[in-house]
Amino acid sequence: MSNNNLTPATFQPSTFWQNKRVIVTGGAGFLGSFVIEKLKERGATDIFIPRKKDYNLTEREAIERFYADALKDIDPKNVVVIHLAANVGGIGANREHPAEFFYDNMIMGVELMHQAYKRGVGKFVATGTVCAYPKFTPVPFKEDDLWNGYPEETNAPYGLAKKMMLVQAQTYRQQYGFNAIYLLPVNLYGPRDNFNLQTSHVIPALVRKAVEAGERGDKELQVWGDGSPTREFLYVEDAADGILAATENYNGDLPVNLGSGYEISIKDLTEMIVKMTGFEGKLHWQTDKPNGQPRRGLDVTRAKELFGWSAQISFDEGMKRTIEWFKENRLKVTG
């Protein structure tokens, strides 16, 4: 995959990672796989990825055992934890499993950060979610608006569970001097995404539906909602770069958005995907299905100001890469 649109600075190793052990929860996942690649590009050589089969991070005993294994033979002050692991899904999955989304994400965040503090870990990077924002936050979402209302109902349990890591990071910094930072990535997309229609987010779901409908020669493509909501999407490689730029250069208590600054309606997104995949039928909007949050778009100035990061991949380029990857790897990801 070409990376021509990325700035050359992305690939220069940083002295920050020398002599550090980097623990990446969720390192085998969608975002995690890119974070691991970019860690290596930046000079990290000691990376520990807890596997789900070895450690169930929703259980305290497993987290304690995981840290006992991960912190062997190293001064914990030289350890960085990047917490990406999460139980995630689209609107449908959130509506069917709200309690699981709340419990799993809350327990993982609270216990992983608490045990890191207890063991003297040098830095903890918590990744939150745009779902933490109130339902009617003025666009673009500013980090200062996080507490001005209740999140959109369909994914509030997930969003609130992840938002508790912000409270935890700030209070642990205040009381214990623990260096925990909190990042808010917007919806991610890109190669290696989850294309399972039961649990996927909007872009991979639409890409798969459009490709398969085109191959079957369907006359119509069913799409949830009425197309009016807007969303912002961040290419997964940009997100990985943002997380690592913050890890290297940011040590503050303020939450920080990671986004592209580009907002698009679901209608325009769907029409774009239909055009790019070559589907020639009509769109049928299922207006009895939920739209989700009316608008989503982030103010991305804080990341630029605090650690010099901004997204590099255009939405058009990112979508081309995503669709190409899905077509090339379809049998692997759809069975």
Is residue 3, in this structure, part of any structural domain at all?
A: no
Judged against a pLDDT cut of 60, whether residue 10 lies above it is answered with no
Residue 216 belongs to a domain with what CATH number? Answer: 3.40.50.720
Nearest to 183 by CA among 273, 55, 83: 83
- The parent domain of residue 278 ranges over 18-334
**Given a cut of 50, is residue 146 above it in pLDDT?**
yes
C-alpha span between 208 and 197 (Å, rounded): 8
Please give the Cα distance from 313 to 4 (Å, whole number): 9
Instruction: For residue 91, give every residue at least 6 positions away whose Cβ sits within 8 Å of its Cβ, in sequence order, or none.
Output: 154, 155, 224, 290, 292
Tokens of 179: 């260096």
5 assigned to some structural domain: no
**What is the reported pLDDT for 290?**
86
272: left (phi over 0), alpha (psi -120 to 50) or beta: alpha
Separation CA 154–CA 299 (nearest Å): 23
Q: Cis peptide before 185, with omega less than 30 degrees from 0? A: no
Q: Is 67 known to be catalytic? A: no
Backbone dihedral angles phi then psi of residue 270, each to the nearest 5 degrees: -60, -45
Please give the tally of structural domains in the chain: 1
**How many residues does this entry show for the chain?**
335
Is 1 a domain residue? no
Tens digits of residue pLDDT in 156-194: 999 999 999 999 999 999 999 999 999 999 999 999 999
The arithmetic mean of pLDDT across residues 9-37, rounded, is: 89
Q: Are 55 and 63 in contact (CB under 8 A)?
A: yes
Check residue 335 and give its pLDDT: 64
Task: Catalytic residue, from 55, 117, 158, 172: name it.
Answer: 158
- Please state the pTM of the whole predicted model: 0.92
In a domain, 9, yes or no: no
* pLDDT at site 14: 82
pLDDT band at 208 (very low <50, low <70, confident <90, very high): very high
Tokens, residue 42: 């930046």
Domain membership flag for residue 227: yes
Would you put residue 120 in left (φ > 0), alpha (ψ -120 to 50) or beta? left
